[in-house]
Amino acid sequence: MKRRWNPLKFCDMRCIFMAILTLYPLFWIGICSLKSSEEIYGSPFGLPKNPEWENYAESWQAADIPVHLLNSILYAAVAVAVVMVLSAMSAYIIAKVWKNKSIYNYYSLGIMIPINAIIIPFILIFRSVRILNTRAGIILAFIVTNLAFSIFILVPFMKGLPDELEDAARIDGCNRLQTFVKIMLPLSKAGLATVGTFVLINCWNDLFLSLLIVSKQNLITLNQVCYNMRSQYAADYGLITATVMIMVIPVIICYALFQKQIVKGMTAGSIKG
């Protein structure tokens, strides 16, 4: 008898293949962080014979990671908090108060314009207001570059919330602000988790804006440290990969914690009825 082709099994195999393809670079960096440079050159794809955990300790001290790690956490945390508040307020107004597609399309244009196209006026404005090479400058840059995408994600989510909830809140005596804080925000946790995670990843992985806005050694991010180590420790890829792993681990932990909320937020509003 001929075996019937099972599309579900084929999809499972394809998902497994894509997972391996996606996770292997991270696995490769992990094993390289436990090797010496000689072993990396001699056996780049093999497992470490004698794991060198000293690479992490050496990288922690040589690159002054605690200072730059705190910088990255501070910039990302403040940017995420501000973007979540501003995008939630804007999305609520667009979705429930001023139901106008023109405003939504205006904000959506921000996603279509690459930062490379406006970086020169961007830097000139920052220099004119004297926030270039400051903590406030890099945080503001992160907020501005992530706000349009966050509104784009949250508006469809807010539209999916029933209008009857607002009517019930008004009957109970809530004004617009109280309705937003007590009703809409708690119901938008999944969407906010999605926005927060994407903004966190964008801020944490950013190198382009950080290199242009911040140059003082005590203000640079962990991503800049990894970039600078390429020239400072050009021959020691064990230290470089160990620093990369230190930078990647917090994002993996954050995504693992908020995985369910992210999936809910990305699929919210896709089904009607």
Which two tokens mark 58? 């050496």
Whether 58 shows a pLDDT value over 90: the answer reads: no
Specify the number of domains making up the chain.
Answer: 1
Whether 256 shows a pLDDT value over 80: the answer reads: no
Confidence of residue 7 (pLDDT cuts 50, 70, 90): low
Asked whether residue 239 is domain-assigned, the answer is yes
Domain boundaries, position 159: 64-267
Asked whether residue 235 is domain-assigned, the answer is yes
Average pLDDT value over all residues in the chain: 82
Asked whether residue 59 is domain-assigned, the answer is no
Distance CA(177)–CA(88), nearest Å, equals 12
CATH code, 179: 1.10.3720.10
Asked whether residue 52 is domain-assigned, the answer is no
Q: How high is the pLDDT of residue 140?
A: 93
Asked whether residue 11 is domain-assigned, the answer is no
Q: How high is the pLDDT of residue 272?
A: 44
Q: How high is the pLDDT of residue 80?
A: 93
Q: Which of these, 217, 236, 219, lies nearest to 134 by C-alpha position?
A: 219
Asked whether residue 55 is domain-assigned, the answer is no
Asked whether residue 272 is domain-assigned, the answer is no
Confidence of residue 14 (pLDDT cuts 50, 70, 90): confident
Confidence of residue 273 (pLDDT cuts 50, 70, 90): very low
Distance CA(91)–CA(183), nearest Å, equals 14
Q: Best-predicted range by mean pLDDT among 28-42, 231-245, 259-273?
A: 28-42
Burial profile 56-81: b = 16 or more Cβ within 10 angstroms, e = fewer:
bebbbeebebeebbebbeebbebbbe
Q: Is the CB of residue 80 less than 8 Å from the CB of residue 233? A: no
Asked whether residue 47 is domain-assigned, the answer is no
